[in-house]
Amino acid sequence: MMDDVILKVEAITKTFPGVKALDDVSFDIRRGEVHALVGENGAGKSTLMKALAGLHKPDSGQIVYQGVPTEVAGPLDARQKGILLIHQELSLSPELSVAENIYLGAWPTNRFGVLKKRELRRNASAALEALGCGFGPDVRVGTLSVAMQQMVEIARAEAFSANVVIFDEPTASLTDTEKDQLFHTIRGLKARGVGIVYISHKMDEIFDITDRITVLRDGQVQGTVETGETDLNHVTRMMIGRTLDSFFVKAKPEFGAEVLRVDGLSKHGHFRNVSFSVREGEVLGLYGLVGAGRSEVVETIFGVRKADDGKLFWKGSEIDLPTPRQSIDMGMALVPESRKEQGLVLMMGGRENTSLPHLRLFSELSLMNRTKELATFEKYRSALSIKTTGPDQAVSQLSGGNQQKFVLAKWLCADPKLIILDEPTRGIDVGSKSAIHKLIAELAEQGLAVIVISSEMPEVLGVSHRVLAMSEGAVVAAFEEGNMSEENLIDAVSHHQGEAAAA
């Protein structure tokens, strides 16, 4: 079976100041397999893949590609050799066209550097067609949806006839249908003999699409197993050193006064006639598929968007739709879905980022109280097991998931009356997910009202006292303790038949 191996990593080590990101890592990718790479946030997955794609130079060790020890000189070299990385953050130029992005940096030119535009278009069209993309090569990439932009990156696999394609958390912001399409595409690549690496924190996806699983922990390989011969418990034990508590901790159902009531909120083209309320100590879940309008609703309540119609009641009295500033002052906190763009000062450390939005809490007579700041930082670092070398390591150097944890920490410590969490565990490893669930329960027991948006059914059922199901911009059903179940939720959002259950 040796000649099946297309790429082999042998004893790669990579050190960053203060961290050994990769420690003597070896693994291999076979032709026509989907190979999962899993591990906690900061385990070294992205670093390993960047080493393959020529973005990091390993300190030691070698890459054997198609049987030959190979030096990957840089990202372009990697692509031309047929190794393609599809980044955790999409790596495209929004102002350039689809065709120009597919061949970014490797445009066909003549000797004098003049573009061969026709060839560029033709080749790009061919690549897009091979994938069955529904858009042409001339569209500006900035106008495409996230899923389509991802297809543009995948089209590079066709364009460069890639032998190895690496997906780093590709489904983080895809809808279910888009995910199915992606899996279809991956299976197509696989059938053609491409070796695929698949990085994800979503275990159901791992077990759905991969053939083998390699587990990384603190930069070391814990082992490689056949997907068919293992189970979730085994893999999580390899990842985090213990099995996962499979039960959720729900806050004690002791509710106080109503904090927020929404009455008939509508916004043309986005959502219509949304009504609900949430009380002190209560966790309200908003379930729905990506694109159901849940984020739009909470963004409107928070004041990021404007509504066409509807009323808002804060602690029993009617208020005008607030601006975000007013919302924060009233005691509302919103942890947005796209945390990358809206959250962190990348050059600052975790300590400063955590205290940034609520400097008032951390200062006396406008002098910062460092001890308190540090204590908060430490509290969340251990509660969410954030992997950082210290309170002042610039967050730009943290792994994707660890950056996200800081955004959460930042809003959790704000001491609000109502906190809205939009997909709080996206991109977060399985071990830390339950830590976040526990935090949600704690917050509610302290008397906060909590709204949790999630596309993951076990999560939304596990943490909420009540769940609203949304579909295509409308609340189609509401569930309480008695009738909250996976079947009912699926029913509600897939057939819109929930109206009967809605109180």
Partner 1 sequence: MSVVTDNRAGSPLSGLLRLLLRNHIWVFLALTVIVFSLSSPYFLTVNNIGNILTQGAFIGILAIGMTMVMIDGEIDLSVGAILALASALAIGLQDHMGVWPAVFLGLMSGAALGFLNGTLVALSGMHSFIVTLGGLIGIRGLVFVYSGENALMVPDFSYTEIPEIYLGPISLTAMLFFALAFFFQWVLSSTRHGRETYAVGDNIEAAHDAGINVKRHKIINFTICGTLAAVCGILLSMRLGTAEPNAGKIWELWTIIAVVLGGTRLQGGFGSMWMTIGGVLTLAVLRNGLRLLNTPNYVELMVMGGVLVLALVLDKLLNHKGDT
Ligand X SMILES: Nc1ncnc2c1ncn2[C@@H]1O[C@H](COP(=O)(O)OP(=O)(O)OP(=O)(O)O)[C@@H](O)[C@H]1O
Q: Which residues bind partner 1 (CB under 8 A)?
A: 54-55, 74-77, 79, 85, 87, 89-96, 100, 104-107, 109, 112-115, 117, 143, 145-146, 269-270, 291, 304, 338, 341
38, 46, 160, 405: which one binds Mg ion (CB under 5 A): 46
Binding partner of residue 397 among ligand X, partner 1, Mg ion, none, CB under 5 to 8 Å per kind?
ligand X
Nearer to partner 1, 123 or 354 (CB): 123
Phi then psi dihedrals of residue 490, to 5 deg: -60, -45
Nearer to ligand X, 18 or 67 (CB): 18
Is position 42 an interface residue for ligand X (rule: CB under 6 A)?
Answer: yes
**Listed ranges 296-304, 360-368, 395-403, 448-456: which one lies at the site for ligand X (CB under 6 A):** 395-403
**Listed ranges 40-48, 60-68, 76-84, 223-231: which one lies at the site for ligand X (CB under 6 A):** 40-48
Query: What is the C-alpha to C-alpha distance for residues 338 and 344, in angstroms, rounded to an integer?
Result: 11
Nearer to partner 1, 12 or 85 (CB): 85
Is position 397 an interface residue for ligand X (rule: CB under 6 A)?
Answer: yes
Best CA proximity match to 309, nearest among 261, 270, 269, 264: 264
Is position 407 an interface residue for ligand X (rule: CB under 6 A)?
Answer: no
Nearer to Mg ion, 21 or 334 (CB): 21
Best CA proximity match to 53, nearest among 196, 172, 217, 165: 165
The SS3 call for residue 307 is coil
| Position 153, amino acid | E
Cα distances from 499 to residues 292, 293, 461, 491, in angstroms, run 16, 18, 19, 11
Size of the site for ligand X (CB under 6 A): 18
Residues 6 or more apart in contact with residue 493 via CB below 8 angstroms:
287, 288, 289, 292, 469, 470, 471, 476, 477
Among all chains, which residue has been given the structure tokens 């065709």? 99
170, 195, 336, 400: which one binds Mg ion (CB under 5 A): 400
Nearer to Mg ion, 185 or 399 (CB): 399
**Listed ranges 44-52, 101-109, 207-215, 336-344: which one lies at the site for ligand X (CB under 6 A):** 44-52
Residues 6 or more apart in contact with residue 122 via CB below 8 angstroms:
none
Handedness of CA 371, 372, 373, 377 (dihedral sign): positive
Binding partner of residue 356 among ligand X, partner 1, Mg ion, none, CB under 5 to 8 Å per kind?
none
Between strands 474-479 and 466-471, the pairing is antiparallel
25, 30, 41, 444: which one binds ligand X (CB under 6 A): 41
| Position 299, amino acid | E
Is position 401 an interface residue for ligand X (rule: CB under 6 A)?
Answer: yes
Handedness of CA 181, 473, 434, 501 (dihedral sign): negative
426 and 449 in contact (C-beta within 8 Å)?
A: no
Nearer to partner 1, 269 or 482 (CB): 269
Nearer to Mg ion, 400 or 473 (CB): 400
Kindly list the residues in this chain that would bind ligand X in the complex (CB under 6 A). Answer: 16, 19, 21, 39, 41-47, 387, 397-402
